[in-house]
Structure 1
Amino acid sequence: MKVGNGLRLVLGLAALMIVVQIINSVTGNSLLHHGLLPRTLTGLQGILFAPFLHGSVRHLLGNLLPFVVLSSLVLSEGVSRYVRVTVLIAILGGLMVWVIGRPLMHVGASGVIFGLWTYLLARAWYQRSLLSLAVASVALIGYSGLLLGFVPVPGVSIESHLCGAIAGIFVAWLMHGKSLGEQAAT
């Protein structure tokens, strides 16, 4: 896939979040029960669905731009890498929230956003290439305010932020090892 296709994919995911929020708003937040409820069997579905669900239009709007920008920065490694990174962050971060999260409904793309952000920063640490350092600098300068996301605020899933960030670092480490292995095989 080309980068243009990757941008279409990212914008398509953002559009899906918007459509889900419209449906959720029109139906009186009826979709929120598909979020992540820690340590419950039904809460496991939230690992897949929670990133697309938001508690309000304001919540969604707060997540859309960082999701699109950070996703676009991860696309600098290619579309297939972006898909693998994002899916791994969503699943690993979601699983961690399911294990350690407060017994509240967790929804929103912020776990994935924090994961993409820390992935970009950790990737620069592992790769130490000019491109990865430049991309990490843009992410760090543009989204250094995400650090405030680790401060507990009522009604905000700090667990999603923290677990997404940890997942992003782990995925960067994992993908760094894969890229080394791929280089050695050629």
Structure 2
Amino acid sequence: MRRALHSASQRLGHAIGFAVGLTLLVWLGFGMQQLTGLTPGIVPRTWQGLIPLPFIFLFHANGQHLLVNSVALVPLATLFALRMQRWTQACALTLVLSISGGLIVWLIGSPGVHLGASLLVFAYLGFLLGGFHATGQHFGTLLWRLLLAGLALYLFWPLLPQLLVMEDGVSWSAHAGGALAGLLWGIRRN
């Protein structure tokens, strides 16, 4: 019992470390963006718009955009990382989700520049909700996945209407693209 508690607390520590490290990286990206004056982002259906796909989550329109995304990113990235066996898996899948979600934005997005960590926020939420699909798993593994998915859904239920928000300055396609990419990868991985 003591060993299991130690292992669980260690896993939680690694997941929190991943989430905090990722969020610090996002803040560093915003800082570099402020220093250079560049605002790279996905520009739908242009070749140049494909370049920032792997790192689109690093760039934000302004400080408020960064802060709002950071508040949601830390807990969702923690829950996401708890699903991984190692932090390297979490890093690799984060890049896959960024690229996959970014490609969806590139295909369906409205004209303009799309950027921000909200793509990852919704990708993580979609990935965790893909846990509801899990079948044929060991009962403990299935229960763990369903618990994480249920917790994510409970905590972030208010975010779901943002999937379809169509207002200036809000990239609904980044929200929807991230969620769809996350859901598909979550179902595939289960």
Give the aligned CA root-mean-square deviation in angstroms.
2.0
Runs ≥4 residues deviating over 6 A: none
Q: Deviations over 1:6-54 (max 9, x none)?
A: 4333322211211222333355xx221x211111111111212321000
Letter in 2 for 1:147: L
Counterpart pick for 2:90 among 78, 82, 86: 82
Aligned partner of 2:103 in structure 1 is 95
Counterpart pick for 1:158 among 159, 163, 172: 172
Letter in 2 for 1:135: L
User: Between Structure 1 and Structure 2, how many residues are aligned?
Assistant: 173
CA distance in 2, matches of 1:66, 1:84: 20
CA distance in 1, matches of 2:173, 2:66: 18
Q: Which moved more, 1:103-112 or 1:82-91?
A: 82-91
Aligned partner of 2:38 in structure 1 is 31
Mark the CA change 1:31 to 1:6 in structure 2 (over 3 Å): closer, same or farther.
Answer: farther
Counterpart pick for 2:144 among 131, 140, 143: 131
With the length of structure 2 as denominator, give the TM-score of the two structures. Answer: 0.82
Percent identical: 31
Q: Deviations over 1:140-177 (max 9, x none)?
A: 1110111121221221000001111110111012212x
Counterpart pick for 1:111 among 119, 122, 131: 119
Counterpart pick for 2:31 among 22, 31, 45: 22
With the length of structure 1 as denominator, give the TM-score of the two structures. Answer: 0.84
Aligned partner of 1:148 in structure 2 is 161
